[in-house]
């Protein structure tokens, strides 16, 4: 995608394919999420990375669960970012993590 920066490229992608939401994970640098009405950048967490396998899938899962639970977009992204950081801080693609229902409240 051509664009002056990642934010613009993500918006071009969202529009080209008529997507309700487009997300771009940036590893330790956080993520970008665009909808028709919102463009949100969220910083990443400073963690000691053990393994990045599974972090992107965890981000997607956290984002979807947050949205399905009718959380505001920024809260859903925060859940996704937190979950991905937890997974990346452990070895293996499907590690056991401390992530409970409290993450989905408020």
Q: How far is it, in rounded angstroms, from Cα 85 to Cα 51?
A: 10
Give the residue extent of every domain in the chain: 6-90
pLDDT tens digits along 43-95 = 999 999 999 999 999 999 999 999 999 999 999 999 999 999 999 999 988 88
pLDDT of residue 105: 66
Q: pLDDT value at position 42?
A: 96
The CA distance from 76 to 106, in Å, is 11
In tens, the pLDDT along 17-30 reads: 999 999 999 988 99
**Residue 45 DSSP code:** P
Query: Is residue 12 predicted with pLDDT exceeding 90?
Result: yes
What is the spatial distance between Cα 38 and Cα 21, in angstroms, rounded to a whole number? Answer: 9
Distances (CA, A) of 55 to 21, 46, 68: 19, 14, 20
Residues 26-39: what's their mean pLDDT? 94
pLDDT at 2: 73
Report pLDDT for 1. 63
pLDDT value at residue 103 = 65
Looking at the structure, give the CATH architecture of the domain made up of residues 6-90.
3-Layer(aba) Sandwich (3.40)
């Amino acid at each position: 995608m051509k664009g002056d920066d990642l934010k613009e490229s993500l918006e071009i992608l969202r529009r080209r394919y008529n997507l309700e939401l487009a997300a771009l994970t940036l590893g330790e640098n956080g993520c970008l999420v665009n909808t028709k009405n919102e463009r949100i950048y969220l910083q990443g967490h400073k963690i000691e990375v053990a393994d990045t396998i599974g972090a992107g899938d965890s981000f997607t899962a956290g984002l979807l669960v947050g949205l399905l639970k009718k959380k505001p977009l920024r809260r859903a992204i925060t859940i996704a970012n937190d979950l991905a950081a937890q997974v990346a801080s452990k070895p293996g693609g499907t590690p056991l993590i401390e992530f409970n229902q409290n993450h989905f409240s408020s």
